[in-house]
Chains A and B, each alone.
Chain A
Amino acid sequence: MIVKKGSFVIEGLENVQINIGKIGEEETQLEAEGPTPRPEVISLRNWDYRILDRYNPVYTPTSDMCDYCTYGKCDLTGNKEGACGIDLEGQSARQALMTSVMGAACHSAHGRHLLHYLIKKYGKEHPIDVGPSNLKAPLTETIMGIQPQTIGDFLPVLDYVEEQLTQLLAAANTGQEGSARDFESKALHAGMLDLLGMEVADIIQISCMGLPKSDEKTPMAEIGMGILDSKKPVVICVGHNIAAPAYILDHMDKNGQFDKIEIAGLCCTAHDMTRYNRNAKIIGSMSKELKYIRSGIPDVLVTDEQCVRADILREAQKLHIPVIATNEKITYGLPDRSNDKVDDIIDDLVSGKQAGVLLLDFEKIGELVPKLAMKIGPIRKAKGLTALPNEEEFRKLVAKCTKCLQCTRDCPQSLPIAEAMVAAARGDLTPFETLHDKCVGCGRCDYSCPVDIPVLNVIEKAAQRVIREEKGKVRIGRGQIGDPEIREEGRNLVLGTTPGVLAFVGCGNYPDGTKDVYDIVEEMIQRSYIIITSGCAAMDIGMYKDKEGRTLYERYPGRFIKGNLLNTGSCVSNAHIAATTIKVASIFAGRKTKGNWEEIADYVLNRVGAVGIAWGAYSQKAFAIGTGCNRLGIPVVVGPHGTKYRRAFIGKPYRKEDWNVLDGRDGSVVNVEPAPEHLMITAETKDELMPLLAKLCFRPSDNSLGRAIKLTHYIELSEKYLKKMPDDWHVYVRSEADLPVAKREQLMKLLEERGWKIDWEKKKITEGPLRKVDVSFQPTNVPRLCKEVKK
């Protein structure tokens, strides 16, 4: 019951407690402009079907078995049915759903934790402030149909997300959903919820904690394994949630300790620490976690949530590094010392009586961590604690290698470790230095060695020279893209004269080292693509320098215009990247957003040349983000490891009927070029990736100038990296005006060889293209959006 006005009387009730939460406000805020505010599990199913009919799910199972229930294990090889009736296709789709739900739950729970904490500290009425934007929370508006003004307005948003995720997870139980297509629709729903949960998390921390607000000129932060002064006590925060590290930074600030203690982060917590306090530094992505711990440099490890290694306590304990767990999601069996005195806890940690503690009182964390670092740091450093071998031990270890290759077989990257051992035995450390960049620091090699060589330690020891030089710069996360920037650039994006927005996101499980990301970004930014980054990818881009010693962040500014490099921030800042496309639809094209997901996504799919790249994606979170982007009409490319996500969305360009769209002016059917050709796909190498990115930026709405620019890059990148003209370049030509001016005549000759008719006198194509250019064309996949539906 919602009471907006007046009074009510309840008679005859005694000993009844009535709790009044939030009356009426939700009603007054609901300003839905579209048909699906707060979409339920199947509200957007028709849109999902449209996507899935064109971009067919492609399953690449890692296991042909299902062992979810006690009927099993069931052998589903060859798409057989298991005991419950599910086949391998359905089981693979169910796994896609569960992966998406896990990722969405992770970000949303992060948001919920922050919201509880920030409401307690700042109150529900604390206003939202994200910078110069009217569209402050684009995903919230598009999904929920409300325009939040205060952080308290996000309470019903997270209630909604949590309720929907419960419904989705229920569908995965044995005996529930059985259709692969509907599992995928649900996975897309979970992906959308993930974007929403991330937006809440980042907007509230930006609004309350003073993080940069759409600031294109944020300062640089230091990054790398070689940046810290290891003579000082070192505090390393690991994970994603800024709440606890903020208290440590505040305490250090208040007590003037930044020149006495080094404090840095691993993974996305690091981004948010630098956004919160510029004295913080970044060590790097999760790939550096085990390596850095084993170096022995950290004196205190502070964990929060997400991307924290499961063995962090065991590893730290061996080197007498106390672990302070600050979040109830990761507790490692540690004693909860939240109610104990700080000095008592410190005594127990310094003496080694306890390897770590669970501490959920932020005030105490803020006080304890710097104090502990000052106390234990000198003790640890005096002992020279490190897992790395000394020179003599190193020589003996590399000589022990039997070259059995078991480490290579267990390595996610199949690295040639034995070859590097042989070279090191000869005194040549170069192969190990190369391996260091390609190694994801998982430590699986340690398990596999039959002669007990601690392989990861050997790699790190051998790479000390390059590790010392690992000193880069990252532009601190800016948060959202402001409305004024969208106004300036939106037109170029939709018409195609800016060739595309490429979003480099995700984790560090790269197929061939971190340098690839730098190389790809450098190539594409020089071609005037807008590069937006977040998370670990944003870190790795800043790890390398040009001949003048400048990182890409120092070479390219951070505004949302062509040829710029923007860092939005941490993992939850990914929401702003997706939301940018909503802003383009709203601000540039005047599309209504509130409760209008389908129309916005349809607009993005057909008109906004944005592509996500998660080259090193490893987590369920990355999958959920990608799936959410897919539902919003944004194609995503992942590295070859992405095949282990087991599901992609791949278009079939040879099936002409899949590429019919409607012209919004009259509902007529137009057969268009495959643009974008895929929604989620992998590439094997960076050389394959680059032309693929250019291709995925094509959109049916491109004008001729824009199409010519995009075609130029597609052809040039293919010629440069694959040594060939793309086989399908002609598919994207609608008229001679679509051809790059510099190559127009040459390309027209090639078209003539393909059987196209050319009027050489007028230099015009007279026959051949799939369709003509029509500047007024209004491509849409949604019949109800057509002004007049043709029968």
Chain B
Amino acid sequence: MNTKPSGKTTEKHVEKHVERPVEKKVESAEKILDTTRQAVPFNTGNIPGPKMARAVMPAVPGKMLAKAKRPLLIVGSEIDDEDVLSRVVTLGKTGIQIASVGDSYKYLGDKGLDAHYANMHALASYLCDPQWPGLDGKGGYDLVVFFGITYYYASQAISALKNFSNIKVISIDKYYHPNADMSFGNLKKDVFIAALDEVIAQLPKK
């Protein structure tokens, strides 16, 4: 017998998936690269309030990273994918300091990057404190960019920055993060990787 929970999809008229992740087959990433589509919280219920992230194209965070005086890239446990990891390394090689949260340091420790282990929750607390000397003791940060962190975990940590700090926060993850100032929409992997490449393309080579 195959049953459906009563009232779940029929009686209660639950609205279903009005928005969906990008599904078009990617023939050329450059051709269809639009990271502003599907800009709805990846976890359906994660709607924080009236202020939600502006969906942006990759050039925007790329240029902001290039201009920032002291940016910080935060990456987490979801960078174990080979394609994603290689982009983290490329970003790190441009000289951007990396806060390696969760267990992500194990993927970065031998790559010759300016990477520092940090607990995401503690890091969120420190970033809200103007007196924090930073991961290297050289002062705080003017821009935080992140990707590759468990979705809901990142979302919560960023809500602290959104509400209790003045730091600009940009998500370049494959998920739309409403608590960031700017974010990509929900992206399929190939679009996500292409978007990261576009961000990297804006950065000065070292």
B-binding residues in A (CB < 8 A): 56, 58-65, 75-79, 88-89, 294, 311, 314-315, 317-319, 384-390, 393, 397, 404-406, 409-410, 412, 414, 443, 446-450, 452, 454, 457, 511, 640-641, 643-644, 646, 648, 650, 652, 654-655, 678, 681-685, 687-688, 692, 721-724, 726-727
In the bound assembly, the distance between CA atoms of A79 and B124 in angstroms comes to 16
A61 with B20, Cβ < 8 A, contacts A640-B152, A724-B105 known: no
Taking a contact as CB atoms under 8 Å apart, the answer to whether A56 and B163 are in contact is: no
- Minimal Cβ-Cβ distance residue in B for A317: B6
Taking a contact as CB atoms under 8 Å apart, the answer to whether B6 and A318 are in contact is: yes
List of B residues within 8 angstroms of A648 by Cβ: 121, 125
* B25-33, B54-62, B89-97, B127-135: which lies at the interface: B127-135
Residue with the highest number of chain B CB atoms closer than 10 Å, among A76, A89, A452: A452
Residue with the highest number of chain B CB atoms closer than 10 Å, among A59, A64, A687, A722: A64
Of B17, B109, B128, B131, the contact of A406 (CB 8 Å cutoff): B17
* B65-73, B153-161, B195-203: which lies at the interface: B153-161
Taking a contact as CB atoms under 8 Å apart, the answer to whether A447 and B153 are in contact is: no
List of A residues within 8 angstroms of B121 by Cβ: 58, 60, 643, 648, 650, 681-683
Instruction: Kindly state whether residue B86 has any CB partner on chain A within 8 Å.
Output: no
Taking a contact as CB atoms under 8 Å apart, the answer to whether B5 and A443 are in contact is: yes
List of B residues within 8 angstroms of A65 by Cβ: 48-50
In the bound assembly, the distance between CA atoms of A389 and B14 in angstroms comes to 23
In the bound assembly, the distance between CA atoms of A49 and B126 in angstroms comes to 20
Shortest C-beta distance, B19 to chain A (Å), equals 9
List of A residues within 8 angstroms of B48 by Cβ: 61-65, 77
Taking a contact as CB atoms under 8 Å apart, the answer to whether A449 and B9 are in contact is: yes
Shortest C-beta distance, B178 to chain A (Å), equals 10
List of B residues within 8 angstroms of A388 by Cβ: 1-2
- Minimal Cβ-Cβ distance residue in A for B12: A447
A-binding residues in B (CB < 8 A): 1-9, 14, 16-17, 20-21, 23, 42-46, 48-51, 76-77, 101-103, 105-106, 109-110, 116-117, 119-122, 124-126, 128-129, 131-133, 149-153, 156-157, 159-160, 162-164, 186
Taking a contact as CB atoms under 8 Å apart, the answer to whether A684 and B49 are in contact is: no
Taking a contact as CB atoms under 8 Å apart, the answer to whether B16 and A450 are in contact is: yes
List of A residues within 8 angstroms of B163 by Cβ: 59, 61, 64, 76-79, 88
Of A88, A448, A641, the contact of B152 (CB 8 Å cutoff): A641
In the bound assembly, the distance between CA atoms of A60 and B122 in angstroms comes to 11
A-B contact list, 22 entries, CB within 8 Å: A58-B128, A59-B160, A62-B48, A64-B159, A65-B49, A77-B48, A318-B6, A409-B17, A414-B152, A447-B14, A449-B16, A640-B152, A643-B121, A648-B125, A681-B119, A682-B119, A684-B76, A685-B103, A688-B103, A722-B109, A723-B105, A724-B117
- Minimal Cβ-Cβ distance residue in A for B128: A58
List of A residues within 8 angstroms of B126 by Cβ: 652, 654
Known A58-B121, A315-B5; 7 more pairs at CB < 8 Å: A61-B48, A61-B159, A409-B42, A410-B45, A454-B4, A684-B150, A723-B106
List of B residues within 8 angstroms of A684 by Cβ: 76-77, 101-103, 120, 149-150, 153
Of B5, B21, B42, the contact of A311 (CB 8 Å cutoff): B5
In the bound assembly, the distance between CA atoms of A385 and B1 in angstroms comes to 7
- Minimal Cβ-Cβ distance residue in B for A385: B1
In the bound assembly, the distance between CA atoms of A409 and B51 in angstroms comes to 21
In the bound assembly, the distance between CA atoms of A62 and B155 in angstroms comes to 9
Shortest C-beta distance, B40 to chain A (Å), equals 9
Shortest C-beta distance, A569 to chain B (Å), equals 30
List of A residues within 8 angstroms of B21 by Cβ: 404-405
Of A63, A76, A409, A723, the contact of B44 (CB 8 Å cutoff): A409
Taking a contact as CB atoms under 8 Å apart, the answer to whether A62 and B156 are in contact is: yes
List of A residues within 8 angstroms of B132 by Cβ: 652, 654
Taking a contact as CB atoms under 8 Å apart, the answer to whether A446 and B9 are in contact is: yes
Of B3, B119, B124, the contact of A318 (CB 8 Å cutoff): B3
Residue with the highest number of chain A CB atoms closer than 10 Å, among B2, B8, B50, B126: B2
In the bound assembly, the distance between CA atoms of A388 and B128 in angstroms comes to 49
Shortest C-beta distance, B105 to chain A (Å), equals 5
Taking a contact as CB atoms under 8 Å apart, the answer to whether A678 and B106 are in contact is: no
Taking a contact as CB atoms under 8 Å apart, the answer to whether A387 and B1 are in contact is: yes
List of B residues within 8 angstroms of A688 by Cβ: 77, 101-103, 119
A-B CB proximity, top 10 nearest: A684-B102, A64-B49, A643-B156, A687-B103, A640-B153, A406-B17, A723-B106, A60-B156, A58-B125, A387-B3
Taking a contact as CB atoms under 8 Å apart, the answer to whether B152 and A644 are in contact is: yes
A314 with B7, Cβ < 8 A, contacts A77-B162, A389-B2, A681-B119 known: yes
A454 with B2, Cβ < 8 A, contacts A58-B160, A62-B159, A723-B109 known: yes
List of A residues within 8 angstroms of B105 by Cβ: 722-724
Residue with the highest number of chain B CB atoms closer than 10 Å, among A61, A386, A681: A61
Of B42, B120, B131, the contact of A655 (CB 8 Å cutoff): B131
Taking a contact as CB atoms under 8 Å apart, the answer to whether A63 and B119 are in contact is: no
In the bound assembly, the distance between CA atoms of A654 and B51 in angstroms comes to 32
Taking a contact as CB atoms under 8 Å apart, the answer to whether A452 and B159 are in contact is: no
Taking a contact as CB atoms under 8 Å apart, the answer to whether A685 and B102 are in contact is: yes
A722 with B117, Cβ < 8 A, contacts A58-B125, A60-B156, A643-B153 known: yes
List of A residues within 8 angstroms of B43 by Cβ: 409-410, 414
- Minimal Cβ-Cβ distance residue in A for B166: A78
List of B residues within 8 angstroms of A449 by Cβ: 9, 16
Taking a contact as CB atoms under 8 Å apart, the answer to whether B124 and A58 are in contact is: yes
List of A residues within 8 angstroms of B42 by Cβ: 409, 414
Shortest C-beta distance, B27 to chain A (Å), equals 19
Taking a contact as CB atoms under 8 Å apart, the answer to whether B76 and A404 are in contact is: no
Shortest C-beta distance, B49 to chain A (Å), equals 3
In the bound assembly, the distance between CA atoms of A393 and B132 in angstroms comes to 59
- Minimal Cβ-Cβ distance residue in A for B115: A724
In the bound assembly, the distance between CA atoms of A780 and B42 in angstroms comes to 47
Shortest C-beta distance, B38 to chain A (Å), equals 10
- Minimal Cβ-Cβ distance residue in B for A65: B49
A404 with B17, Cβ < 8 A, contacts A386-B1, A449-B9 known: yes
Taking a contact as CB atoms under 8 Å apart, the answer to whether A644 and B156 are in contact is: yes
Shortest C-beta distance, B128 to chain A (Å), equals 8
Shortest C-beta distance, B25 to chain A (Å), equals 12
List of A residues within 8 angstroms of B44 by Cβ: 406, 409-410, 448
Of A412, A448, A678, the contact of B122 (CB 8 Å cutoff): A678
List of A residues within 8 angstroms of B102 by Cβ: 683-685, 687-688
- Minimal Cβ-Cβ distance residue in A for B100: A722
In the bound assembly, the distance between CA atoms of A311 and B159 in angstroms comes to 32
Of B5, B49, B117, B133, the contact of A63 (CB 8 Å cutoff): B49
In the bound assembly, the distance between CA atoms of A624 and B102 in angstroms comes to 25
Taking a contact as CB atoms under 8 Å apart, the answer to whether A683 and B16 are in contact is: no
Shortest C-beta distance, A737 to chain B (Å), equals 27
List of B residues within 8 angstroms of A88 by Cβ: 163-164
In the bound assembly, the distance between CA atoms of A726 and B105 in angstroms comes to 11
